[in-house]
Structure 1
């Protein structure tokens, strides 16, 4: 919970600082925060779909097709095997993916919330 609040505070400060630094009008700033939230949400959804392995059959098909067109050397095959079975590298990739997903999810929620609250205040 502490990480969510701290990250939300940082994102709010960045968004407000961006408005002041660039000198955007309030309506342009609301549009920018909404667009940022939608893009962050799309990235989060894409990362979650990729992590579930939903597209793995599709990607593996292109790998097979690529290997058929341009065959790999024995050293490339051995390197791919070593990379695939490296536990430390795979754990690091999972940690980076989890951190990135967490950050983009928070950015999406904060940006969309700020844009909706700002629109409500703007049209009151």
Structure 2
């Protein structure tokens, strides 16, 4: 978008290029399928699913869960501005993941069960269980 806007200034002039970009920005940037908006929704849904899974597995406590959920809203959308709150949330996200990373490097994270017990009359999915 920025490159297109700058390239339009010379042939059209600043005023006309500004009017064109302001009038057609949404159509040019998002397109008819609204892919970035759909992807942003998937980010929110994925953050919620990861947070619930990490909480239920005992990986995150309540504080880390809250920080992870808040940080899940960072930097989404097109042309977002960063502020002090974004920096604070980024530091919070580091507080969530740095201790977890240290535990992984020290090999103190509990192992998942290697072989699950299938329900009666069901076979495990080989795609998911290895």
- Scaled by the length of structure 2, the TM-score of the pair is 0.29
> Which is bigger in relative contact order (C-alpha 8 A, separation at least 6)?
1
User: Which structure has greater helix proportion?
Assistant: 1
Which one has a bigger Cα radius of gyration?
2
- Scaled by the length of structure 1, the TM-score of the pair is 0.30
